[in-house]
Amino acid sequence: MFALGQAVVVPHDGAYHVGEVVGVRALSEGRLYDVSLEHIVIKAMASEDLRAVTEDELNGLLSSFVGAAGTGASERDVLLRREYVAFLARARAAFDADATTSDATVPARFAVGEYVALRDGASFALGRVMGVSISNHEASYVLEVMGENRRVGEDALCDLSDAPSSLGLALGARARFVADGYEDDESFFGVVCGCAEDAEGPVFSLLFDDGDVLEDLRSADLALLPDNAKV
Protein backbone atom coordinates (compact mmCIF):
# COMPACT_ATOMS: atom_id res chain seq x y z
CA MET A 1 0.00 0.00 0.00
CA PHE A 2 1.28 3.42 -0.97
CA ALA A 3 0.01 6.82 0.18
CA LEU A 4 -0.94 9.88 -1.80
CA GLY A 5 2.07 12.14 -2.08
CA GLN A 6 4.53 9.34 -1.34
CA ALA A 7 7.78 9.15 -3.29
CA VAL A 8 8.15 5.84 -5.14
CA VAL A 9 10.40 4.27 -7.72
CA VAL A 10 8.75 3.12 -10.95
CA PRO A 11 9.96 1.60 -14.23
CA HIS A 12 9.49 3.67 -17.40
CA ASP A 13 11.10 3.44 -20.83
CA GLY A 14 13.68 0.90 -19.70
CA ALA A 15 14.84 2.83 -16.66
CA TYR A 16 13.73 3.49 -13.09
CA HIS A 17 12.44 6.90 -12.03
CA VAL A 18 11.37 8.57 -8.80
CA GLY A 19 7.81 9.85 -8.87
CA GLU A 20 4.96 11.01 -6.68
CA VAL A 21 1.78 8.99 -6.05
CA VAL A 22 -1.00 11.32 -7.21
CA GLY A 23 -3.87 8.87 -7.58
CA VAL A 24 -5.18 5.66 -6.03
CA ARG A 25 -7.96 3.49 -7.47
CA ALA A 26 -9.77 0.53 -5.99
CA LEU A 27 -9.86 -2.89 -7.60
CA SER A 28 -11.53 -6.01 -6.29
CA GLU A 29 -8.07 -7.44 -5.59
CA GLY A 30 -5.83 -4.53 -4.72
CA ARG A 31 -5.03 -0.98 -5.79
CA LEU A 32 -3.82 0.83 -8.89
CA TYR A 33 -1.67 3.94 -8.63
CA ASP A 34 -1.10 7.04 -10.75
CA VAL A 35 2.49 8.27 -10.46
CA SER A 36 3.69 11.70 -11.55
CA LEU A 37 7.24 11.96 -12.92
CA GLU A 38 8.93 15.19 -13.91
CA HIS A 39 7.13 15.53 -17.23
CA ILE A 40 4.41 12.88 -17.37
CA VAL A 41 1.91 10.96 -15.26
CA ILE A 42 1.91 7.16 -15.55
CA LYS A 43 -1.55 5.85 -14.79
CA ALA A 44 -2.94 2.71 -13.19
CA MET A 45 0.28 1.03 -12.11
CA ALA A 46 0.06 -2.18 -10.10
CA SER A 47 1.48 -2.11 -6.59
CA GLU A 48 4.08 -4.75 -7.44
CA ASP A 49 5.59 -2.34 -10.00
CA LEU A 50 6.25 0.28 -7.31
CA ARG A 51 8.60 0.44 -4.38
CA ALA A 52 9.32 3.11 -1.79
CA VAL A 53 12.25 5.37 -2.57
CA THR A 54 15.32 5.32 -0.31
CA GLU A 55 16.96 8.29 1.35
CA ASP A 56 20.15 7.75 -0.65
CA GLU A 57 18.22 7.75 -3.92
CA LEU A 58 16.58 11.06 -3.02
CA ASN A 59 19.90 12.58 -1.97
CA GLY A 60 21.54 11.51 -5.21
CA LEU A 61 18.68 12.78 -7.36
CA LEU A 62 18.55 16.13 -5.59
CA SER A 63 22.32 16.51 -5.95
CA SER A 64 22.04 15.97 -9.68
CA PHE A 65 19.82 19.04 -9.97
CA VAL A 66 22.18 21.33 -8.04
CA GLY A 67 23.85 23.68 -10.49
CA ALA A 68 22.28 21.89 -13.46
CA ALA A 69 22.25 24.21 -16.43
CA GLY A 70 18.92 25.24 -17.84
CA THR A 71 20.29 26.54 -21.13
CA GLY A 72 17.72 26.27 -23.88
CA ALA A 73 15.03 24.99 -21.54
CA SER A 74 11.53 26.19 -22.26
CA GLU A 75 9.50 28.05 -19.66
CA ARG A 76 7.34 24.93 -19.33
CA ASP A 77 10.35 22.71 -18.65
CA VAL A 78 11.68 25.15 -16.07
CA LEU A 79 8.29 25.15 -14.29
CA LEU A 80 8.02 21.35 -14.30
CA ARG A 81 11.56 20.93 -13.02
CA ARG A 82 10.99 23.45 -10.24
CA GLU A 83 7.86 21.59 -9.12
CA TYR A 84 9.64 18.23 -9.34
CA VAL A 85 12.60 19.43 -7.25
CA ALA A 86 10.18 20.85 -4.67
CA PHE A 87 8.50 17.43 -4.44
CA LEU A 88 11.87 15.70 -4.01
CA ALA A 89 12.82 18.14 -1.25
CA ARG A 90 9.57 17.45 0.61
CA ALA A 91 10.10 13.71 0.25
CA ARG A 92 13.67 14.05 1.50
CA ALA A 93 12.45 16.03 4.52
CA ALA A 94 10.24 13.09 5.49
CA PHE A 95 13.36 11.12 6.39
CA ASP A 96 14.63 13.73 8.84
CA ALA A 97 14.21 13.11 12.56
CA ASP A 98 12.48 9.79 11.83
CA ALA A 99 9.45 11.76 10.61
CA THR A 100 6.34 9.68 10.13
CA THR A 101 4.37 12.48 8.48
CA SER A 102 5.36 15.56 6.56
CA ASP A 103 4.36 17.82 3.73
CA ALA A 104 5.50 15.02 1.42
CA THR A 105 2.14 13.33 1.85
CA VAL A 106 -1.29 14.78 1.18
CA PRO A 107 -3.78 14.43 4.04
CA ALA A 108 -6.74 13.07 2.08
CA ARG A 109 -9.50 12.84 4.66
CA PHE A 110 -11.10 9.70 3.24
CA ALA A 111 -9.45 6.48 2.05
CA VAL A 112 -10.17 4.19 -0.88
CA GLY A 113 -12.88 1.71 0.09
CA GLU A 114 -14.32 3.95 2.82
CA TYR A 115 -18.05 4.78 2.94
CA VAL A 116 -18.88 8.48 3.17
CA ALA A 117 -21.82 10.87 2.96
CA LEU A 118 -22.13 12.94 -0.20
CA ARG A 119 -23.84 16.20 0.68
CA ASP A 120 -26.11 18.11 -1.71
CA GLY A 121 -27.76 20.93 0.17
CA ALA A 122 -29.91 19.31 2.86
CA SER A 123 -29.73 15.87 1.22
CA PHE A 124 -27.13 13.17 1.80
CA ALA A 125 -26.31 10.09 -0.27
CA LEU A 126 -24.22 7.05 0.62
CA GLY A 127 -21.03 6.82 -1.38
CA ARG A 128 -18.04 4.53 -1.46
CA VAL A 129 -14.62 5.94 -2.29
CA MET A 130 -13.35 4.15 -5.38
CA GLY A 131 -10.47 6.48 -6.17
CA VAL A 132 -8.52 9.41 -4.77
CA SER A 133 -6.31 11.83 -6.67
CA ILE A 134 -4.41 14.99 -5.83
CA SER A 135 -3.78 18.17 -7.76
CA ASN A 136 -2.12 21.27 -6.35
CA HIS A 137 -2.12 19.53 -2.96
CA GLU A 138 -5.90 19.17 -2.93
CA ALA A 139 -7.71 15.83 -2.93
CA SER A 140 -10.62 14.84 -5.14
CA TYR A 141 -12.56 11.59 -5.05
CA VAL A 142 -14.31 9.15 -7.34
CA LEU A 143 -17.39 7.84 -5.53
CA GLU A 144 -19.70 4.97 -6.33
CA VAL A 145 -23.20 6.29 -5.55
CA MET A 146 -26.12 3.94 -6.21
CA GLY A 147 -24.17 2.14 -8.93
CA GLU A 148 -22.86 5.28 -10.64
CA ASN A 149 -19.44 6.89 -10.42
CA ARG A 150 -19.14 10.57 -9.54
CA ARG A 151 -16.06 12.76 -9.10
CA VAL A 152 -16.31 15.29 -6.29
CA GLY A 153 -14.13 17.51 -4.16
CA GLU A 154 -13.48 16.85 -0.50
CA ASP A 155 -15.71 19.76 0.54
CA ALA A 156 -18.76 17.83 -0.75
CA LEU A 157 -18.11 14.89 1.62
CA CYS A 158 -18.58 14.27 5.31
CA ASP A 159 -18.58 11.38 7.76
CA LEU A 160 -21.65 9.15 7.80
CA SER A 161 -22.31 10.25 11.37
CA ASP A 162 -22.85 13.83 10.19
CA ALA A 163 -25.91 12.90 8.10
CA PRO A 164 -29.44 13.00 9.61
CA SER A 165 -30.63 9.90 11.46
CA SER A 166 -33.75 8.74 13.25
CA LEU A 167 -34.17 5.87 15.72
CA GLY A 168 -30.81 4.46 14.65
CA LEU A 169 -31.61 4.74 10.94
CA ALA A 170 -28.66 6.43 9.28
CA LEU A 171 -26.65 6.28 6.08
CA GLY A 172 -25.03 2.88 5.73
CA ALA A 173 -27.33 1.11 8.21
CA ARG A 174 -28.70 -2.29 7.23
CA ALA A 175 -32.48 -2.16 7.31
CA ARG A 176 -35.60 -3.76 5.86
CA PHE A 177 -38.67 -2.28 4.30
CA VAL A 178 -41.57 -2.79 6.70
CA ALA A 179 -44.22 -5.05 5.20
CA ASP A 180 -46.46 -7.22 7.36
CA GLY A 181 -45.73 -10.91 6.93
CA TYR A 182 -42.40 -10.31 5.20
CA GLU A 183 -40.18 -9.66 8.21
CA ASP A 184 -37.80 -12.50 7.27
CA ASP A 185 -37.96 -12.04 3.50
CA GLU A 186 -34.43 -11.06 2.48
CA SER A 187 -35.70 -9.46 -0.72
CA PHE A 188 -36.89 -6.60 1.52
CA PHE A 189 -33.41 -6.13 3.05
CA GLY A 190 -31.07 -3.34 2.05
CA VAL A 191 -28.90 -0.41 3.05
CA VAL A 192 -30.01 3.12 3.84
CA CYS A 193 -28.48 5.01 0.91
CA GLY A 194 -30.07 8.43 1.17
CA CYS A 195 -31.43 10.76 3.82
CA ALA A 196 -32.74 14.28 4.06
CA GLU A 197 -34.89 16.48 6.27
CA ASP A 198 -38.21 18.10 5.44
CA ALA A 199 -40.94 19.76 7.49
CA GLU A 200 -42.16 16.38 8.71
CA GLY A 201 -38.77 15.00 9.68
CA PRO A 202 -36.19 12.62 8.17
CA VAL A 203 -36.78 11.10 4.72
CA PHE A 204 -34.82 8.02 3.61
CA SER A 205 -33.95 5.97 0.55
CA LEU A 206 -33.28 2.22 0.74
CA LEU A 207 -30.94 0.41 -1.63
CA PHE A 208 -32.19 -3.17 -1.77
CA ASP A 209 -29.64 -5.97 -2.04
CA ASP A 210 -30.75 -6.61 -5.64
CA GLY A 211 -29.84 -3.05 -6.63
CA ASP A 212 -33.28 -1.45 -6.68
CA VAL A 213 -33.83 1.80 -4.77
CA LEU A 214 -36.98 2.83 -2.91
CA GLU A 215 -37.21 6.53 -2.05
CA ASP A 216 -39.33 8.87 0.09
CA LEU A 217 -39.48 6.56 3.08
CA ARG A 218 -40.20 7.59 6.66
CA SER A 219 -38.84 6.07 9.83
CA ALA A 220 -42.01 4.00 10.20
CA ASP A 221 -41.37 2.41 6.79
CA LEU A 222 -38.03 0.97 7.87
CA ALA A 223 -36.72 -1.28 10.60
CA LEU A 224 -33.12 -1.92 11.52
CA LEU A 225 -32.01 -5.48 10.97
CA PRO A 226 -31.52 -7.37 14.26
CA ASP A 227 -27.73 -7.27 14.19
CA ASN A 228 -27.78 -3.53 13.42
CA ALA A 229 -25.11 -4.16 10.80
CA LYS A 230 -23.61 -1.42 8.65
CA VAL A 231 -21.80 -1.35 5.36
Give the end-to-end CA distance of the chain in Å, rounded to a whole number: 22
Query: Residues 155, 179: one domain?
Result: no
User: Is residue 66 in a domain?
Assistant: yes
User: Is residue 108 in a domain?
Assistant: no
What are the tens digits of pLDDT across the range 196-209? 988 888 999 999 99
Query: Residues 129, 152: one domain?
Result: yes
User: Is residue 142 in a domain?
Assistant: yes
Tell me which residue range forms the domain holding 35: 7-98
Q: For 142-170, what is the mean pLDDT?
A: 89
Query: Residues 87, 119: one domain?
Result: no
Instruction: Outline where DSSP puts E strands in the chain.
Output: 7-12, 15-27, 30-36, 41-46, 51-52, 115-120, 123-135, 138-145, 148-153, 157-158, 174-177, 189-198, 201-208, 213-217, 222-224
> What's the pTM value of the predicted model, to 2 decimals?
0.75
Residue 224 has pLDDT above 80, yes or no: yes
Query: Residues 74, 13: one domain?
Result: yes
Query: Residues 11, 94: one domain?
Result: yes
What are the tens digits of pLDDT across the range 89-118? 888 887 765 544 444 555 688 988 899 999
Query: Residues 63, 134: one domain?
Result: no
When divided into structural domains, the chain yields a total of 3
The CATH number of the domain holding residue 40 is: 2.30.30
User: Is residue 105 in a domain?
Assistant: no
